[in-house]
Amino acid sequence: KKMNYYIKKTNKDVEQMNYTTEEVLRELEYNHNVIHQSRKEMNTGIEYSHQQAITMARFMNEFQERVNFGGYSYAQQYMLNKGLKVFGNQGEKASVKELDELYRRNCFTPVSIKDMTMEERQRAQVALMFLTEKGDKSIKGRMVYNGKPTREW
């Protein structure tokens, strides 16, 4: 039932965007295919060699074994804004709890932006808050340092 809805919605989107069904299917294949994400081959059909098929099957099997037997957990993480929309009040409580834990452990000291010099503002580190649903259905907040924009001072 859900798949039929998705197919109908996709077909409707295709008609509105003037894309052919083949182009949309190729785009979906590209977006969900681990093997071909390094090179976008939109103008050709994707055919897998025997070795690629074996590699993908082994990857899927190993992934499944890690979940079933190794106790690995792969959960969807959401950035704070999206997580608050998905988890609502539980997400808010989880983010406050994470901030409280970091504060109590003296990981950082809150400082008002008004009290900072321009240089301090430029050097301030950005933190990202992620929310995820744990196996027991509770919501976990995780704050991490965003190292991407770091510069040498």
Residue 29 predicted with pLDDT over 80: no
Determine the average pLDDT of the residues in 136-152: 79
Residue 14 predicted with pLDDT over 70: no
Q: How far apart are CA 106 and CA 100, in angstroms?
A: 10
For 114-136, write each residue's pLDDT tens digit.
888 888 888 777 788 999 998 78
Q: How far apart are CA 76 and CA 134, in angstroms?
A: 9
For 60-86, write each residue's pLDDT tens digit.
888 888 877 777 767 788 899 889 999
33, 51, 57, 62, 99 from 48: Cα distances, Å: 11, 8, 12, 20, 47
pTM: 0.51
